[in-house]
């Protein structure tokens, strides 16, 4: 698949954007970058000590954040539009250890003009740690601004439905 956007990282949205997942400038964020592997959007991350929940393990909420961000990028890459998460189901089958690289992989499973679904898998050292199904809504500019409670940055407007 040829990406509908480029580059596949947060610099796409301009300097200083606030996303925890992909902003290259976020002081505590993941700073994720993505690549295409066939129809899949893929990213890798080494969870750090400040990502811990239980001792030595990445916080489950942050594992879900990594999955959500990867699914959102699958929507953006395929559709050229922002997807806003409306629902997800997650299954954590194994703890994600800090200090060890993980790979998150997402692919779209359903596309309409308003709703997009994606499946995500996170693996560490070949073992599946997480699977999830995510649903996104594609909003026009007015809908995005209503959801966000104010004007969106002009650089983001072209990614609205």
Q: What is the pLDDT of residues 52-74, one digit of tens each?
A: 999 999 999 999 999 999 999 99
Look up the pTM and report it. 0.95
How many domains does the chain fold into? 1
Is residue 3, in this structure, part of any structural domain at all?
no
Q: What is the strand order of the sheet 127-137 is part of?
A: 35-37, 40-45, 102-111, 115-124, 127-137, 84-92
Is residue 5, in this structure, part of any structural domain at all?
no
Q: Which tokens belong to 9? A: 């990282």
Is residue 100, in this structure, part of any structural domain at all?
yes
pLDDT given at position 86? 98
Within 8 A by CB and 6+ apart from 88, the residues are 64, 67, 68, 71, 132, 133, 134, 135
Phi-psi sector, 80: left (phi>0), alpha (psi -120 to 50), beta: left
- Region 14-25: what's the mean pLDDT? 89
Is residue 28, in this structure, part of any structural domain at all?
yes
Per-residue confidence at 37, pLDDT binned at 50, 70, 90? very high
Tell me the C-alpha distance between 59 and 84, whole Å: 23
Tell me the C-alpha distance between 78 and 40, whole Å: 10
pLDDT given at position 38? 94
Length of the chain: 161
Is residue 148, in this structure, part of any structural domain at all?
yes
**CATH number of the domain that 17 lies in?**
3.10.129.10
- Region 89-103: what's the mean pLDDT? 98
pLDDT at 91 over 90: yes
Is residue 53, in this structure, part of any structural domain at all?
yes
Is residue 133, in this structure, part of any structural domain at all?
yes
What is the chain's alpha carbon radius of gyration, rounded to the nearest angstrom?
15
Boundaries of domain holding 66: 10-159
Q: Which tokens belong to 8? A: 């596949």
Tell me the C-alpha distance between 27 and 84, whole Å: 23
Return the biggest CA–CA distance within the chain.
43
Tell me the C-alpha distance between 161 and 82, whole Å: 8
- Provide the percentage of residues in the chain whose pLDDT is more than 90: 87
Is residue 127, in this structure, part of any structural domain at all?
yes
- Region 1-20: what's the mean pLDDT? 87
């Amino acid at each position: 698949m040829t990406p509908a956007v480029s580059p596949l990282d947060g610099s796409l949205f301009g300097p200083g954007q606030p996303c925890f997942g992909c902003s290259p400038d976020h002081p505590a964020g993941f700073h994720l970058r993505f690549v295409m592997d066939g129809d899949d959007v893929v990213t890798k991350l080494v969870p750090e000590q400040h990502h811990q929940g239980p001792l030595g393990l990445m916080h489950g909420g942050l594992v879900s954040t990594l999955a959500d961000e990867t699914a959102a990028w699958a929507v953006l890459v395929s559709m050229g539009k922002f997807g806003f998460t409306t629902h997800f189901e997650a299954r954590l089958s194994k703890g994600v250890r800090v200090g060890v690289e993980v790979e998150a992989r997402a692919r779209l499973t359903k596309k309409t003009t308003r709703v997009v679904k994606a499946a995500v898998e996170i693996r560490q050292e070949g073992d599946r740690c997480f699977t999830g199904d995510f649903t996104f809504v594609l909003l026009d500019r007015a809908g995005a601004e209503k959801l966000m409670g104010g004007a969106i940055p002009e650089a983001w407007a072209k990614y609205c439905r």
